[in-house]
Amino acid sequence: MTGSALLAKRPRLREDLLVSRALRRGPDTVHLVKDRTGGRAFEVTAKEHFLMVRLDGSRSLADIGEQYAARFGRRLGDDHWTRLLWLLHERNLLHPPAAAAVARPAAVELRRGVRWFGWTLSLPVLAVLCVLAAASPAAVALCLDPLWQAARPAFGDPVSWLLLGLLAWISAAAHEFAHGVAAVRLGATVTRINLVTLTCRVEDYQYLPRRAHQIAIAAAGAVANGLLLAPVWAAALATGPGHPAHPVLCAYLLVGSVQTLVNLVPLAPLDGYKIVSHALGMLDLATESRRYLSTLPRRLLRRRGPAYPAGTAAWLGLYAAWWLLAVAAVAAAVSYGAGRWLEPALGASSYLLPAAAVTLTVAGWLARPRPHRSRSDNPQIPKGES
């Protein structure tokens, strides 16, 4: 095919492809692309995304090439276009699709839940619900001592433990259901809600165009947990001391508050981590923050390594510091707890053994080889001709 014939072509990507907004992976700007028919997903760079979104059938390759040259200061030759189109064809991304459709996972039926609770995701209602969800744990913190005194009998009663377990399971189930309803209401697909393992699998929500919707889906579970504390507060106030149910209700206020707040801790795989990741627009925030920290000496001393934008470097550095602080706090708590348990048998040296075990465990985990992230499946565009 001659160069003029190739550049006159107007290829078109399939309409059912999902393309995310711009995201950060460490120092790089990337976009996620997903083939909803086959379920295959991959990353493309900003330049690749620039070309792909313009393959809409209305513009020729020559027109797109001119736009590319104006944007990036380089032109793509015929061999570059040939390679790009071949890669897109091989991955079945061009219209019409070349391969038979692969069955997608069946979506979970949540229309009734959306009809009943979808109105809660309007901005004014959601703001009120978030305030109410935060008020219950805050009230527990203010009344911590009297609640603990009232709840102590329940923590020593086996029947109360069963009731607490049931209430905690109901709260966890509501947590997953809230994720599912929010996802369907905001345009994502839920393929599984498992009330045994207490998981909700949401497809495609990384491709939603608005980060506020992604944050709402990630936060919906914790909001539901916080809201469930409100009727328990009302029941605890209505029963009062001396009622058989009062200790269990007070105990659940403590347990439920911990359940709510722990989910908001920004550590993977908790919801708080997802909320922070979506708010910052970053992929694999924990992994990339550790990579940033591990390459920092080389970049400072040898001036080698990836160049991070200032804002990205600041957020990755802050998250790495938080992660190290959290790991140190957990390690110290485990060492102290194990040391107290061993103290009657080992005396003052009881803290050394747990501390050494925890230190070796953390060091081994940090030193383990990281899997190399390959982009071999991506339709990478060669550097253009100047």
Give domain limits for the chain.
3-90, 111-280, 285-367
Whether residue 115 has pLDDT greater than 70:
no
User: Percentage of the chain with pLDDT > 90?
Assistant: 30
Task: Read off the pTM.
Answer: 0.82
Measure Cα distances from 199 to 173, 179, 191, 235 in Å.
Answer: 9, 10, 11, 29
Instruction: Examine residue 105 and say whether the peptide bond preceding it is cis (omega within 30 degrees of 0).
Output: no
pLDDT at 2: 58
What is the Cα–Cα distance from 41 to 18, expressed in whole angstroms? 9
**Per-residue pLDDT tens for 147-198?**
999 999 998 889 999 999 999 999 999 999 888 888 888 888 887 787 777 8
Task: Report which secondary-structure segment, H or E, holds 332.
Answer: helix 310-346
Whether residue 227 has pLDDT greater than 70:
yes
pLDDT at 195: 76
